[in-house]
Structure 1
Amino acid sequence: MEKYRKRNKTNIYIMMGLSIQQGSFLVKIARKAVEEYLKNERIIKLTQIDPIYKIKRGVFTTIEEYKISNGMVNKELRGCIGFPYPSEELINLTIKSAILAATEDPRFPPLEYDELEKVVFELSILTEPKLLDVDKKKLPSMIKIGRDGLIIERGLMSGLLLPQVAVENEWDAETFLCNACLKAGLTPDAWLLKGTKVYIFQAEIFAELEPKGRIIKRNLYRNE
């Protein structure tokens, strides 16, 4: 797995503060980008847009298959790819991550155009990851479930889990760390080893409730 590039330390708790309208616009652009790419093999380009979308931020696009069974909504992962560091403008990485999630996630076959009516899109807009330079045993106490995502690095191995993954699986901080290590191809306790680096980041999450439906901003963390 490609090693995530290290960046300078920043105040990770300063979020962009996108409005629901701005987040909804980005989710719609992600869907439109995939639709245009699957239909015409063309990458959309936007020129005249609000400067907020030109700020550099990391972005992940998650695509899930949407099913209703016995009156209950079930969603299954269909693709998730993104960019953890702010290497380009937000709008550009939104388009790129959406197309990659639909076509290049090695865990799934490429999305078909006809599937667009059966999937929902979710965007996670990230703060810049920050290295937790503390005693290894203190790491769980530094991680807040629902607020933080994780990047684990050890040598050439690395893995990332978004904040919502821990919430959806009802993990505590230690279990979250162990699963991030597994995602990196490491043993579950590798976060305790000298030389393993643990980064945290936060995300603003905007998601469709149903295919092409209403878009909400997910609030996973409650600061007690």
Structure 2
Amino acid sequence: MDKPLTDPEKTILLEAARRAITDYVRQGSFEPVPREEKSLNRRNGCFVTIKKNGQLRGCIGNFQSERPLFKEVAEMAVASATKDPRFYPMKEEDLTDFSLEISVLSPLKKIDAIEEIEIGKHGIYLEKGYYRGVLLPQVATEHGWDRLTFLKQTCIKAGLPTNAWQDDDAEIYIFSAQVFSED
């Protein structure tokens, strides 16, 4: 991530995400409004999290993007609303009460020692064979997890045993995120 987004830029992205979800659920399509701001046109990975009554309702993202950030945010917002396999696709009645959180990501960095993971600063991406799991930096903080619990929970998210992070063929990456929400 280059320089952090400004508050007005964050607002633009949150509004773009909300508009994309609403348009897609109501009309079956969406078209992000082009932006001229340099920071909104850089190629950053991002995750869009949808919450309803404070509970997770969808979360999907990419670590890398070939699209400008404003388009990537809109795409991930729609994917979170309609393609997260943990939830049914949002319907019109779901549009009345939900909140959004956006995480704009730094590039992944492979680590050799788990001591490099800083709770509250880093998210974890774990890869082992065909299994992959990711947890955003704010998840550990929200749940009050320590480093080992964070690693175990990332393994669970990947569909692996909780100690799989210790295996020789497990690869652990960290990343940071600029996280902002409507709340």
Output the TM-score relative to the length of structure 2.
Answer: 0.95
* 1:195-214 alignment runs, 5 A limit: 195-209=169-183
Q: Which residue of 1 aligns with 2:73?
A: 94
Indicate yes or no: 2:155 matched with 1:168.
Answer: no
Question: Are 2:14 and 1:27 aligned?
Answer: yes
- Counterpart residue number, 1:47: 34
Deviation at 1:117, TM superposition (A): 2.1
SS of residue matched to 2:10: helix
Partner of 1:71: none
Choose between structure 1 and 2: higher helix proportion: 2
Q: Letter of the aligned partner of 1:147 in structure 2?
A: K
Describe the superposition over 1:6-47 as per-residue Cα deviations: whole angstroms up to 9, x where unpaired.
Answer: xxxxxxxx5531111111110110000111111111221323
1:119 pairs with 2:98? yes
Q: How many residues align?
A: 183
Deviations 1:140-160 (Å, cap 9, x if unpaired)? Answer: x21111100000001111111
Report the secondary structure of 1:35's partner residue. helix
- Is the 2:105–2:177 contact (alpha carbons within 8 Å) kept by the matching residues of 1? yes
Specify every segment of 5 or more residues in structure 1 that has no aligned partner in the other structure, as ranges.
1-13, 67-74, 210-224
Q: How does 1:39-78 map to 2 (within 5 A)?
A: 39-66=26-53, 75-78=54-57
Distance across 1 between alignment mates of 2:14 and 2:50: 11
Give the distance between the partners of 1:87 and 1:161, measured in 2 at CA.
Answer: 22
Contact 1:85/1:129 (CA < 8 Å) preserved in 2? no
Q: 1:24 to 1:182 in 2, by over 3 A?
A: same
Query: 1:101 is matched by which residue type in structure 2?
Result: S
Q: Structure 2: any 5+ residue segments left out of the alignment? A: none
Distance of 2:81 and 2:35 partners within structure 1: 26
> Contact between 1:64 and 1:77, CA under 8 Å: does it hold in 2?
yes
CA contact 1:24–1:206 (8 Å) conserved in 2: no
Cα drift, residue 87 of structure 1? 3.4
Which stretch of structure 1 is more off in the superposition, 37-46 or 163-172?
A: 37-46
- Please list the CA deviations of residues 56-108 of structure 1 after superposition, one character each: whole Å capped at 9, or x if unmatched: 00010100002xxxxxxxx1111111112233221121011000000111111
1:141-220 matched pairs, under 5 angstroms: 141-209=115-183
Greater relative contact order (CA < 8 Å, ≥ 6 in sequence): 1
1:80 aligns with 2:80: no
**Contact 1:57–1:90 (Cα < 8 Å) also in 2:** yes
Flag the 1:197–1:48 CA change in 2: closer, same or farther, 3 A: closer
The percentage of counterpart residues that share the same residue type is 34
CA shift, 1:48, in A, is 4.4
Which digits, 9 at most, give the CA deviation of each residue in 1:159-187, with x for residues without a partner?
11001110111000111011111111111
Return structure 1 stretches of 4+ with deviation > 4 angstroms: none
CA-atom RMSD in angstroms? 1.3
CA distance in 2, matches of 1:147, 1:128: 14
